[in-house]
Amino acid sequence: MTISINTITDEAAFNDYLAARNAPRDTITNGVRPNSVKAIDEYDALTGLLAGDMSQFSAYHAQVTAGVLPFIELMKCAMKVMDQTPHLIDQSAAAAGSVQPFGVDISEPLSAADYIAMLNNTKAAVDSVITALSG
């Protein structure tokens, strides 16, 4: 498909298109993905503290989160998907000789098997929430 830009109006329209096209990607790259990674790290830190320096709160934490644990697990899985999907997209783009749309550091490759395992874990978390909601 060929796009013709012959006037300043055409160029402005194309720039508007680019802005609209890139907006969701930029939000993922600059907001959603980094915050998902941060939230995963913070939850992992909490888990470590409850097993170590804050172990006196471990039983309390388990009690107060028991009713929402399936939802917590689902959110953790969703955040991992938000982290790893742009990674896999950029890895695939680089392998195809294309521009990496998300600009993710792909120096540590993500295997298809690991990605599929993550998706299966996410499916299990979804099923857990469905079970919890179904009573």
Question: With bands split at pLDDT 50, 70 and 90, how would you rate the model's confidence at 1?
Answer: confident
For the whole model, what pTM was predicted?
Answer: 0.81
- Quick one: average pLDDT of 38-45? 95
Dist CA 112 CA 110 (whole Å): 7
Domain count, the chain: 1
pLDDT digits (tens, 9 = 90+) for 103-131: 999 999 999 999 999 999 999 999 999 99
Instruction: Output the pLDDT for position 77.
Output: 96
Among residues 113, 67, 86, which one has the least CA distance to residue 26?
86
Kindly state whether residue 2 falls inside one of the protein's structural domains: no
- Quick one: average pLDDT of 20-25? 93
Give residue 66's domain range: 8-134
Kindly state whether residue 3 falls inside one of the protein's structural domains: no
Kindly state whether residue 1 falls inside one of the protein's structural domains: no
